Amino acid sequence: MMRHVSAPQRRFTQVSNDIIRHADLSSDAVRLLVWLLSLADTSGVSFSDVARRAGIKNGAFQRAKAQLKEAGYAHEWRRQGADGRWVTTQLVASVPLSAEEARAVWDGQEVSGSPSTGEPAVGEPGCRVVGGHPRDKTVSNTSLPPAPPEPKPQPQPQPQPQAEPWPEPEPEAEELPPPPPPPGPRPTPPACLPEQLIEHGALILASVSHREPRLRLTGREVKELAPLAADWLLRGVKAPQLREELSVGLPERIHHAAALVRNRLLRKLPEAPPISAPPPPRERAQPKNMTMRECRGDHTQGFLFHPVDDEPWCRDCRRERALAAAEAARGAAVRGGAAVRAALRGT
DSSP helix/strand/coil, 294: strand
Q: How many Cα atoms are found within 13 Å in the side-chain-facing hemisphere of 342?
A: 6
Domains in the chain (CATH in brackets) are: 17-127 (1.10.10), 189-267 (no CATH)
Element (H, E) at 205: helix 195-211
- pLDDT (tens, 9 = 90+) of the chain, 347 residues, equals 887 777 787 888 878 888 888 888 999 999 888 888 888 777 778 888 889 888 999 899 999 999 998 999 999 888 887 787 888 888 888 889 898 888 888 877 555 544 444 444 444 455 444 445 545 554 545 455 556 666 655 656 555 555 455 555 555 444 455 555 554 444 455 567 888 889 998 999 999 999 988 899 999 999 999 999 999 888 888 999 999 999 888 888 898 999 999 999 999 888 877 766 677 777 776 666 677 888 888 888 888 878 888 888 888 898 888 898 898 888 888 888 888 888 888 76
Q: Which residues contact 137 (CB under 8 A, 6 or more apart)?
A: 146, 147
Give the H or E element holding residue 68: helix 58-71
Helix (H, G, I), strand (E, B) or coil at 304: strand
User: What pLDDT is attached to residue 234?
Assistant: 87
DSSP for 73-137 reads SEEEEEEE-TTS-EEEEEEE-SS---HHHHHHHHTT----S-TTSSS-----GGG-SS-S--SSP
Closest-CA residue to 224 (of 191, 206, 202):
202
- Report the C-alpha gap between 263 and 256 in whole angstroms: 11
* pTM of the predicted model as reported, rounded to 2 decimal places: 0.33
Half-sphere exposure of 211 (CA within 13 A, CB side): 12
